[in-house]
Structure formats: C-alpha cells, structure tokens
C-alpha cells in the first residue's frame, strides 16, 4: 500500500511530515524523493535493460526465455543477473516458448491375452 498520498495530505493540512512518516514507518528521505517524480537510477537502468531484452527476445522470434536472454546479453557485454532479467521479462510480458510434450503413439491393450514366459526367466533376488 502506498502511504505517500496520506503523508502529502497531512503536509497540506499543516501537520508535521516527520510525525506522519514516523507513524506510518516511512523514511522522510523516501517521501521527499518520491515527490520529485524523477525516476531513480535503477528504474532508468531497468528501462534500458528491458529494451535490450526485448531486442534479444524479438531476435530469437520469441523463443528465448530468461536463461538464454541472459547468456546473449552477457555475450554482448551487458552484465546483470539472470533473476533480474527474469523479473524484467515477467513485467514486460515476455515469455520463451516451451517444447511440446512427446506424443505417445503406442498404447497397450488392457484386454490383450497374457503371453507365456517361454524362457523361464527368474527376476527374483538371489536367496540369502
């Protein structure tokens, strides 16, 4: 839940910002940083990285997931963690394609007759 509008309302009403931040357990620095409406350095880096991720993902025709996108970005010289790439891909709605499951072509007949063991094989463990 975002408490900054409540603190802003208290400030506009003439009350202490310090007291409101203490009660809501928010640092004053975070409140004033949020008021400036400038995106943080991390947000700007995330936006730039999301653009690169989108390019790599589009280059793979939507096949690459986060591990392959991470490997491609590392090969291009962009250093960042795979989990960060996974988070940014999730936020951007990018997913890799999964391989299809194998189709089972042979299904045993449950009503087939039992075949006798002509070799008298014994798969029991040896006694002892």
Distance (Å, whole) CA 92 – CA 65: 13
Question: Who's near 92: CB < 8 A, 6+ residues apart?
Answer: 50, 53, 54
Q: What is the pLDDT of residues 4-28, one digit of tens each?
A: 777 888 888 888 888 888 888 888 8
Q: What is the pLDDT of residues 41-81, one digit of tens each?
A: 899 999 999 999 999 999 999 899 999 999 999 999 989 99
Under 8 Å between Cβ of 95 and 60: no
44: Cα within 13 Å, side-chain hemisphere: 5
Burial status of residue 17 (CB atoms within 10 A of its CB: 0-12, 13-18, 19 or more): middle
Sign of the torsion formed by the C-alpha atoms of 45, 51, 55 and 60:
positive
The model carries a pTM of 0.56
CA 19 to chain centre: 38
- The DSSP letter of residue 122 is -
């Amino acid at each position: 839940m975002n408490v900054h509008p409540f603190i802003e309302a208290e400030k506009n009403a003439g009350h202490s910002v310090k007291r409101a931040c203490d009660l809501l357990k928010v640092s004053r620095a975070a409140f004033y940083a949020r008021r400036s409406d400038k995106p943080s350095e991390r947000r700007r880096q995330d936006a730039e990285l999301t653009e690169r991720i989108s390019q790599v993902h589009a280059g793979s025709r939507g096949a690459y997931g986060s591990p392959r996108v991470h490997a491609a970005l590392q090969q291009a010289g962009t250093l960042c963690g795979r989990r960060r790439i996974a988070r940014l891909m999730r936020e951007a709605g990018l997913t890799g394609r999964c391989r299809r499951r194998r189709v089972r072509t042979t299904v045993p007949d449950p009503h087939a007759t039992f075949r006798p063991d002509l070799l008298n094989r014994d798969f029991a463990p040896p006694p002892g």
